Structure 1
Amino acid sequence: MRRATVTRDYLVVTLGLVAMRAEDPEAKSLAAAAIVHPEPATFRQLLDMGRGKPWRDSVVEALAEVGIETVSNFIGGCDGR
């Protein structure tokens, strides 16, 4: 459970940095919205908007960590661990 909390915090911090530092006001708004309402559509929009932007790789990496943690928990839950 601790790992999941760290992973979540990593994503929130990454999104917070985008919300504070992105040059595009719409990207700032989407990043802030993704923290409060983490919906798939919001993340997809943010990733599309981030093409060619320096912050996009950070968001992709944070989302990948969330996905890895989720799969780990899901698989672990299936075999009784």
Structure 2
Amino acid sequence: MPDIKQYEFTYKEVLEALVKQAGLHEGKWQLVLNFGLAAANMGPTPSQVVPGAAVAVAGIGLMKAVADSPEALVIDAGEVNRAA
């Protein structure tokens, strides 16, 4: 059996897993990513330093979808996590 070193998930798969983890059984939800931004002087060597920015994913969450949320980014908790 091969030694698997990486798994990749689609946006919808991550959204579905989070809806299940949160125990949501109704409503439409979408994924939320919170980004952090930091400015810094960057470069491979001291003589090649330039102003730059680093962007990090500071958090991942769920947000209740609104009427104009893009359909491709929304999941229905009632369909993917039916109440027992």
| TM-score bracket for the superposition, by shorter chain length | under 0.3
TM-score when normalising by structure 2:
0.25
TM-score when normalising by structure 1:
0.26
Structure with more of its chain in strand, by fraction: 2
Structure with more of its chain in helix, by fraction: 1
Greater Rg over alpha carbons, structure: 2
